[in-house]
Amino acid sequence: MTPWLRRSRPRTPAPTLPSRDTSTATTRVDLHELTPDTGVFLGHCAALHLTFFEQLSHAVANAPRVAEKDALAEAAATTLARYRGLVAEMGRLKLDPAAVMEPHLAGVQEFERRTMGADWHEQVASAHVAIGFLTDFWIRLGAGLPRESRDRVEAVLAQGDLERPLHAIIERAIAANPRLSSRLALWCRRLVGDTMLQARSALALHADRSRDEEQIEPVFTELIAEHTRRLDRLGLTA
């Protein structure tokens, strides 16, 4: 897979974010009508988690201090545990992991290339945004899986805490160099467009796209709102 050490190509602005709403929805909207076949779901989600693990492993190798290496190693271990959990579910369903993951690798690698960041700080910020956004997305998409698989997949995606160690790294970096704040805020904003496209690529869309959009729009509104809160907790402007 493409390493994070190379510089990214010129960046394009992400779509304009909707205005913020500080209220929290009492009912989480899901995507059960757009959930793909279980094998397709597991293959795509596992391919992403394998890529997350590789990205975080590269970040560990290039971290400037032991504290950052330790936090990133913790996050990488969590993504690996989730990946193994998804592969275990494939085994229960007698699916070949390589066969169900292979169709998704090209798209996942392209997403990785577009969001790798120009330096180590942007790499960590990319992981924080992409993993957080896409974990929220895949949990919602999993609502349409058969009951037993749905419960196991949701438990797998809830393993560990990826936000805390990545948040702590970025927070310390900004405290040490406040000038990073505006640059990382802009970079995180630019990530949203590609991350949304990666999420949409997992949907099983129908011929009637207008009906699909009625279900997609409120989910992505929620996801962007949580993305905004994630950056607000870092003092960044989404």
Dump pLDDT digits (tens) for 57-95: 999 999 999 999 999 999 999 999 999 999 999 999 999
The Cα–Cα gap between 19 and 77 comes to 36
Look at residue 54 in the predicted model and tell me its pLDDT. 93
User: How many Å from the N-terminal Cα to the C-terminal Cα in the chain?
Assistant: 29
At position 10, the amino acid (one-letter code) is P
Does any domain span residue 19? Answer: no
Number of domain units in the chain: 1
Does any domain span residue 10? Answer: no
| Burial bucket for residue 117 (CB in 10 Å: 0-12, 13-18, 19+) | buried
Q: What is the value of pTM for the model shown?
A: 0.84
Does any domain span residue 208? Answer: yes
DSSP string, 113-145: HHTS-SSHHHHHHHHHHHHHHHHHHHHHHGGGS
Q: Which two tokens stand for residue 208?
A: 């009637």
pLDDT digits (tens, 9 = 90+) for 94-140: 999 999 999 999 999 999 999 988 899 999 999 999 999 999 999 99
Compute the C-alpha angle 90/92/96, nearest 5°.
Answer: 40
pLDDT band with cut points at 50, 70 and 90 for residue 28 = low
Domain boundaries, position 98: 32-232
Does any domain span residue 21? Answer: no
Q: Which CATH number belongs to the domain containing residue 149 in this structure? A: 1.20.1260.10
Residues whose CB falls within 8 Å of the CB of residue 183, separated by 6 or more in sequence, listed in order:
121, 122
140/214: higher pLDDT: 140
- What mean pLDDT is predicted for residues 158-178? 93
Does any domain span residue 158? Answer: yes
